[in-house]
Structure 1
Amino acid sequence: MRDKVESRENHQAVDGIGVTLIVFSAVILAFGIWAVWRIFDPVPTTTDDLRVRIELVRNIGLFVLGVIGLPLAIWRSMTASRQTREAILQGYRVERQLAFTDRQIAATEETNLAKLLQDGAKLLADNDAANVTAGIATLSVVARTDPDLFGNQALTLLIDFVQQKGGEGHTGANIKRAITALQTAYDLRPAQVADHLIFVEDYETSARYDDYETNWRLVRGARTCTYVGGDFAGQAFKENLDGFRFRHLVFRHCDIERMAALSMENCSFKRCRFKEIDCGSLTRSTLKDCNLSGVRIVINGPIPDLRAGQNYFEPESPPLLVGCTEPVDLLAILFQGRPQPDDAVF
């Protein structure tokens, strides 16, 4: 409103000045016409008299043009100034409108995210598996948004769901979906919204059923995460593993970048693939039927006899021993070629 009043006042002031300049210019022009008429009355009789009068007319004309042109130039300058000021005011108005629009969009987005979070939480607590799936998908969207709004709250809901429903195994489809959602959010912005998670094998069920498997998966979003018993199957351990603890469990058909990166105790590895293993880690674990062709073996402790676990290497790609202080006979610690089930170590 204030801008409109100022603009109206500026228009009125400039328009008033314009009218005054027009009237003033008309008066000066009339004066010039009168002066010319007086100069040529009476009519000159000689050439010199005519030349003098023409020179006088020229000077008067220049004076009249100057008197008229200067106010007009001032008026045009004031008009341009008014237009510039109007453009600046318009820019301010547009800027305020954009800021207001941004606030409206932010408020709408916050409201929508709050509703998604509420709906996702309700669906996640439902007994119907399809509704739970929808809840996970909804919270997955919210978890990838601003943590200061509802992103971290969505992560917390997903982590609580995994801990409660998957505390003894990650075989359920919705458990896997929730863990995938946590991993996706973590890849976008690493966040730790829980202090500690722990997943423990159901030893009673494991003793009763031979085919019982936990199929653990790495759960992101906590400062520390401990797995006790059970197994990891067909997974890759290549990324940052800080905060993860592995106790008394089995790794089956897994791809492991560096064995030393695993914080483990009394674990076994069956048919796993490695890029690097070390003798220090081998004192806390066992390898069974693993192909160690081309693997780096870091000698940082006593070298165990890995033949007891039927571990081997292909003749064309022997492992690389790193840190050896004396020659090592590979055939004294590994089979060359995959051994037969009845092969024995004496």
Structure 2
Amino acid sequence: MELGTMSMKPNLKTDEKTWQGCLGFVAMLFAIVVGVGSIILSFGFGLSWARVNKDHVAILKDYLLIAAGLTTFATIIWRGMMTDQQVRIQREQVDTQINQLERQREQVDQQREQVELLRRQIDSSNAARYIDLLAEGTKLLEAEGAHQKIAGVAILREVICGLDYEVLRNPAMTLIASEWKENYKSAADLPYLKLIKDALSEGIKLGARSNISAVFEAPNDNFEWVLVEGFASQSYSGGIITNENRPHISTIMQEPKISFRNVKIYNGKIDTKEATFSDCYFIKCRFKEIRIDDINENYFCDCDFSGCNFIFYERFTDTSFISAKFKNCYFIYENIPSLIVLTSDETEFTSMDWSSFLSARESFDDFMNVD
């Protein structure tokens, strides 16, 4: 309500008291008039007091009853009017509340639209920021200086690990994976390549992956591989993989479409289901499962086959070809390998004379230090 403006809403309690007072006054006035008029009328015609008492008191009583009835009737009419007015006021209040709620809903909708607009502006700002970072990182990565390359990898790592704009993760992964592919032979000498390897591993944990397919060839037989994750596919040829590689070969084998050819692998936990091996030398490795194809195409020296499942596609009576592939390999006596023969009809678990190419040992050798 503005200052100086009086409320026009009726005060029901005040109106009720005023109405009742007026009715009482009118009824009393009506009774007095009727009573006095009756007395005057009676004496005017020469009636005695006794006659008045008998005949006119009843008339006066009737007039009073009529006055009371009129008052009651008027009160009922007034209460109906007040009830109707009260209902109308309550309806107006409800309508006012509904209008207020509608205005509040409109305000909430407007606030929601403003928040959504702000979010889109932030997303657009973040997108522009990460696109700029991607461009800047690419530029620095293509520079000749080591410091620029380190800065470029750090910027691209920010793009990969940033949670605000995930759509640029894979392109950033592809950029640094391509740089690794071009310079992998110097991985042990160039510090920024170690940063690339760590960034690729972090990207894999976040569900990102490059689209680079890489073929890595060792420059010499003694070249020690630095294994890396994050490629669409990768193949290693020649060289050595040792227990010191991080990530270890047991981790790198979980990469999609990974293969090894003519690689010497030391002290590894090998799962031949995940990777492809050909003409490889396994030295002091552990196997939990190996297929006949893996035996035919690779060589094994001082390897542990305790509890290993040998999977063949037919039963062999002559295992001399297996013996030629195994040298000083063994199993722990308490954990004998199993032979599984897969045929078109069934899978058969059977026994085998392991002594033809494996030796049984009482305990695990101390020199077998495998992650």
Deviation of residue 163 (structure 1)? 0.7
Structure 1 position 317, deviation (Å) = 3.0
Q: What is the alpha-carbon distance in structure 2 between the residues aligned to residue 218 and residue 79 of structure 1?
A: 69
Classify 1:63/1:308 alpha carbon distance in 2 versus 1 (closer, same or farther; 3 Å): closer
CA-to-partner distance for each residue in 1:206-251, whole Å, 9 max, x for gaps? Answer: 5xxxxx42324143232x3222211222223365444112222121
The answer (yes or no) to whether the contact 1:306–1:334 under 8 Å persists in 2 is: no
Tell me, in whole angstroms, the C-alpha distance in 2 between the residues paired with 1:24 and 1:330: 108
Aligned pair partner of 2:323 in 284, 301, 305: 305
Normalised by the size of structure 2, how large is the TM-score?
0.70
Q: How does 1:196-345 map to 2 (within 5 A)?
A: 196-203=213-220, 206=221, 212-222=222-232, 224-234=233-243, 235-237=248-250, 240-257=254-271, 259-300=272-313, 303=319, 304-305=322-323, 309-323=327-341, 328-337=352-361
Distance 1:148 1:192 in 2: 14
- Specify the code of the residue in structure 1 equivalent to 2:274: A
* Contact 2:302/2:330 (8 A) holds in 1: yes
**Could you report, residue by residue, the CA deviation over 1:153-191 in whole angstroms, capped at 9, with x for unpaired residues?**
21111111111121x364344323323322332233254
1:143-158 alignment runs, 5 A limit: 143-144=160-161, 145=163, 149-158=167-176
How far apart in 1 are the matches of 2:159 and 2:237? 31
Number of residues paired by the alignment? 311
Identity over the aligned pairs, expressed in percent? 18
C-alpha separation in 2, matches of 1:139 and 1:290 = 42
Offset of residue 328 of structure 1: 3.3
The whole-number CA distance in structure 1 between the counterparts of 2:168 and 2:79 is 77
Cα 1:262–1:113 change in 2 (3 A) is: same
Shift of 1:50: 4.9
1:64–1:327 distance in 2 versus 1, CA, 3 Å: closer
Between the aligned partners of 2:355 and 2:10, the Cα distance in structure 1 is 115
Change beyond 3 A, Cα 1:34–1:318: closer
Given that residues 174 and 210 in structure 2 are in contact (C-alpha distance below 8 angstroms), is that contact kept between their aligned partners in structure 1? no
2:230 aligned partner, one-letter code: R
Report what 1:89 is aligned to.
106
- Preserved CA contact (<8 Å) 2:137 2:155: yes
Q: Which of these two proteins has the greater Rg computed from alpha carbons?
A: 2
Contact in 2 for aligned 1:186/1:221 (Cα 8 Å): no
1:141 corresponds in structure 2 to 158
What is the rounded CA distance, in whole Å, between the counterparts of 2:100 and 2:26 in structure 1?
43
Match of 1:114 among 128, 131, 137: 131
How far did 1:55 drift? 1.0
Checking the alignment, whether the CA contact within 8 Å between 1:307 and 1:335 is kept in structure 2 is no
Q: Which amino acid aligns with 1:124?
A: L
Q: What is the RMSD of the two structures over their aligned residues, measured on CA atoms?
A: 3.7
Q: Which deviates more, 139-148 or 265-274?
A: 139-148
32-41 or 273-282, larger mean C-alpha shift:
32-41
- TM-score relative to the length of structure 1: 0.75
Q: Which runs of 4+ in 1 moved over 6 A?
A: 28-31
User: In the aligned structure 2, how far is the partner of 1:190 from the partner of 1:287?
Assistant: 35
Q: For residues 298 and 176 of structure 1, do their structure 2 counterparts lie closer, same or farther at Cα, with a shift above 3 Å needed? A: farther
Distance (Å, rounded) in 1 between the aligned partners of 2:207 and 2:124: 23
> Equivalents in 1 of 2:229, 2:76: separation in Å?
96
Deviation at 1:76, TM superposition (A): 1.4
SS at match of 1:105: helix
The answer to whether residue 24 in structure 2 is matched with residue 22 in structure 1 is no
8 A contact 2:331–2:337 mirrored in 1: yes
8 Å CA contact 1:169–1:214 kept in 2: the answer is no
The letter for the 1-side match of 2:236 is Y
Q: What is the identity, as a one-letter code, of the residue corresponding to 1:220?
A: G
